[in-house]
């Protein structure tokens, strides 16, 4: 299972109790596949992390994992093995800027 | 006994204030959507329990919330505002062409007849509509297709469509206003539009009498007289008696004719309220005095109303969507400030009282008159 940590405002919107979401991601574990799975489980999050149409990350949302900033990585690049194995979570973070 | 529900949008959430018809004791609920900007909250005129809210943030974008129980509980509905296939660009601050980009919903205008139909005015300026209670939003792209669209430009607050008025005598006729493009009208349900800015004079644009480019801050209409509109422009308070075909100035003896909010008494179509703001660089009330000005003659002759409002050391602003009226026999007037106060008058403006004093900056105020 892929572990994802969402920022508090989105946990409230999606009515997620607890700190992490566990997602079953079939196939390659990439930012795109994880976000697809997240939005499929919680449709209310569509448009809040990435744009509805372009699928690009919103400007003030960041992706961290294993102490790396993956925000500028290709959405189709494999995520670190520790994320794919569930050892480490993917952190979706509201940047300390933006409003 | 009738009661009222005041829907307040702020920089950090929404609040709902309720009182019985006396309007002297208020209960406050909220913050709803805490921490998010709530540009507008408005109820359906045909189902008072149906309320829509625009919730947005710089981080996570736009959400639309819907309540079916008068604001006790909320469910997020559709938040996809994808522009129709209209080619072209609008004008950016530096004069260069700029593609249309959705930023947020400024204003939600529920239909006068169907609780599932709502119009949404958005930034960058466009008009959307849902007919399924907010699940899906479709652009009425005829507005942006107007030949002047490429010349529209944002004001300091962005290029927002902030005012939507549906003609109660003809649902195919709508009025909208855009900062800073001007006012527009459709007579065919939104398929085609025309600018209605004749008579406006704006010194801050190259041609003061241009067809578009005017920074219209707000329009107001009394439902019994749909051809009469009142306008608070960037500078100047204006009036039309022919559905926007021509405008004339009614600023009269106002201490300043800059401002944002304007509204009409619920039962007296010639009684108009504005809140003058000192200037476009000093976004606060003149002389440190918070005063509403009322004209009972449809403009030009204005009287200050300040009883119960701070009359010294007050430097707040009242934004364009932050004044509303109820429909009780003695018309109530309500407005919210950037200082977080919401004031109300239960006697058409003669006297005022604060309902709350310390909210986040108020972006919008709407009122529901409940049976």
**For position B177, what pLDDT does the model report?**
98
**For position B156, what pLDDT does the model report?**
83
The minimal CB distance from B60 to the residues A9, A52, A53 is found for A9
Q: Is B32 helix (H, G, I), strand (E, B) or coil?
A: strand
Q: Looking at beta carbons, which residues of chain B come within 8 Å of A7?
A: 59-60
User: B39 CA to chain A: closest CA distance, Å?
Assistant: 14
CB of B323 within 8 A of CB of B331? no
Average pLDDT over residues B335-339: 98
Per the structure, how many domains does chain B have?
1
Any bridge partners for residue B2, and if so which? none
Within-domain flag for B77: yes
**CB-based burial of residue B289 (10 Å sphere; 0-12 exposed, 13-18 middle, 19+ buried)?**
middle
Q: Looking up tokens 């400024």, which residue turns up?
A: B106
User: B84 CA to chain A: closest CA distance, Å?
Assistant: 12
Residues A29/A34/A40/A46 CA torsion (nearest 10 deg):
-150
User: A47 CA to chain B: closest CA distance, Å?
Assistant: 7
Per residue in B258-302, pLDDT (tens digit) is 999 999 999 999 999 999 999 999 999 999 999 999 999 999 999
Q: What length does chain A have? A: 99
d(CA A45, CA A65): 20
Within-domain flag for B345: no
Within-domain flag for B23: no
Within-domain flag for B220: yes
Q: B-contacting residues of A 5-64, CB under 8 Å?
A: 7, 9-10, 13, 44, 46-49, 52-53, 58, 60-61
d(CA B165, CA B138): 18
Q: Is B268 helix (H, G, I), strand (E, B) or coil?
A: coil
Q: Residue B132: give the domain boundaries.
A: 31-313
Within-domain flag for B322: no
CATH of the domain at B241: 2.130.10.10
Closest to B216 in 3D by CA, of B192, B198, B228? B198
ipTM of the complex: 0.95
CB of B270 within 8 A of CB of B298? yes
- What contacts B337, CB < 8 A, 6 or more positions away? B290, B316, B317, B318, B322, B343, B361, B362
- A-B contacts (CB, under 8 Å): 45
Per residue in B189-245, pLDDT (tens digit) is 999 999 999 999 999 899 999 999 999 999 999 999 999 999 999 999 999 999 999
CB of B78 within 8 A of CB of B137? yes
Within-domain flag for B26: no
d(CA B48, CA B93): 41
Cα Rg of chain A, angstroms: 12
Partner B contacted by A93 (CB < 8 A): no
Domain A2-94 has CATH 3.10.20.30: yes
Per residue in B88-139, pLDDT (tens digit) is 899 998 889 999 999 999 999 999 999 999 999 999 999 999 999 999 999 9
Within-domain flag for B20: no
Within-domain flag for B133: yes
d(CA B271, CA B267): 9
């Amino acid at each position: 299972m892929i572990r994802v940590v969402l920022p508090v405002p989105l946990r409230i919107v999606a009515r997620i109790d607890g700190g992490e979401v566990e997602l079953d991601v079939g196939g390659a574990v990439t930012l795109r596949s994880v976000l697809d799975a997240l939005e499929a489980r919680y449709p209310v999050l569509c448009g809040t992390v990435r744009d509805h149409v372009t699928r690009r990350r919103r400007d003030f949302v960041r992706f961290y994992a294993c102490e790396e900033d993956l925000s500028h990585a290709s959405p189709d690049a494999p995520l670190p093995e520790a994320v794919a194995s569930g050892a480490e979570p993917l952190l979706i973070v509201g940047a300390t800027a933006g409003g | 006994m009738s009661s009222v529900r005041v829907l307040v949008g702020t920089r950090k959430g929404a609040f709902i204030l309720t009182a019985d018809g006396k309007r002297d004791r208020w209960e406050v609920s909220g913050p709803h959507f805490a921490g998010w900007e709530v540009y507008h909250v408005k109820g359906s005129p045909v189902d008072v329990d149906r309320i829509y809210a625009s919730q947005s943030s710089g981080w996570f974008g736009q959400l639309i919330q819907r309540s079916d129980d008068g604001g006790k509980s909320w469910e997020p509905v559709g938040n996809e505002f994808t522009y129709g296939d209209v080619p072209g660009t609008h004008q950016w601050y530096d004069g260069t062409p700029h593609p249309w980009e959705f930023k947020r919903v400024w204003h939600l205008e529920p239909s006068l007849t169907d609780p599932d139909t709502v119009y949404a005015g958005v930034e960058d300026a466009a008009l959307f509509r849902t007919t399924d209670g907010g699940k899906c939003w479709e652009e009425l792209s005829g507005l942006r297709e107007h030949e002047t669209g490429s010349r529209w430009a944002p004001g300091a607050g962005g290029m927002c469509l902030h005012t939507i008025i549906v003609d109660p005598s003809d649902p195919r006729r709508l009025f909208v206003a855009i900062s800073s493009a001007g006012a527009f009208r459709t007579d065919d349900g939104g398929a085609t539009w025309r600018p209605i800015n004749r008579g406006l004079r704006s010194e801050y644009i190259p041609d003061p009498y241009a067809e578009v480019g005017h920074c219209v801050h707000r329009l107001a209409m009394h439902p019994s007289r749909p051809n009469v509109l009142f306008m608070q422009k960037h500078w100047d308070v204006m009036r039309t008696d022919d559905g926007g075909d021509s405008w004339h100035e009614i600023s009269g003896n106002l201490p300043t004719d800059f401002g944002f909010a304007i509204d009409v008494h619920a039962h007296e179509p010639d009684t108009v309220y504005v809140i003058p703001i000192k200037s476009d660089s000093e976004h606060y009330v003149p002389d440190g005095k918070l005063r509403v000005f009322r004209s009972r003659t449809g403009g030009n002759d204005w009287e200050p109303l300040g009883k119960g409002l701070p009359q010294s050391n007050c430097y707040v602003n009242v934004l364009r969507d932050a004044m509303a009226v109820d429909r009780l026999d003695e018309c109530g007037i309500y407005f919210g400030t950037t200082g977080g106060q919401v004031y109300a008058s239960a006697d058409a403006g003669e006297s005022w009282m604060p309902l709350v004093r310390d909210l986040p900056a108020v972006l919008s105020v709407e009122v529901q008159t409940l049976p």
